Amino acid sequence: GQNIDQPTEMTATEGAIVQINCTYQTSGFNGLFWYQQHAGEAPTFLSYNVLDGLEEKGRFSSFLSRSKGYSYLLLKELQMKDSASYLCAAVDSNYQLIWGAGTKLIIKP
């Protein structure tokens, strides 16, 4: 079967760095997305990785290792507004998105 695993909840301190991990098992692989979802709002696109390595975009970076079926989202200089759920989604061989349940990130002052 197809499966995405990510931690249910994480807590971090304002100004710090946090890494949210995601492992995936899919039938074929055509890339991995990270989305951010604030409570009561729609998911919004953060990043897309299809090649191995690190993609940096401001305070957020996303890493992919295809051989390990593993990705992480790295958030630096955390701000209170980064409190949200972070959803990992892998693209399978049929170009369908397989979604994780999301990681709720709580930022404390």
Partner 1 sequence: DTAVSQTPKYLVTQMGNDKSIKCEQNLGHDTMYWYKQDSKKFLKIMFSYNNKELIINETVPNRFSPKSPDKAHLNLHINSLELGDSAVYFCASSQETLAETYNEQFFGPGTRLTVL
Contacts with partner 1 by CB under 8 A lie at 30-31, 33, 37, 41-45, 48, 50, 85, 87, 89, 91, 95-97, 99, 101-102, 104
- 3-state SS, residue 81: helix
Minimum CB distance to partner 1, residue 95 (Å): 5
Q: How far apart are CA 24 and CA 6, in angstroms?
A: 9
- Which lies closer to partner 1 via its Cβ, residue 16 or residue 50? 50
Residue type, 64: L
| Contacts with 2 (C-beta within 8 Å, 6 or more apart), sequence order | 25, 26, 27, 90, 92, 98
Q: Least distance to partner 1 from the beta carbon of 31, Å?
A: 5
**Both structure tokens of 49:** 């990785």
- Nearer to partner 1 among residue 65 and residue 93 (C-beta): 93
Q: Which is nearer to partner 1, 12 or 90 (CB)?
A: 90
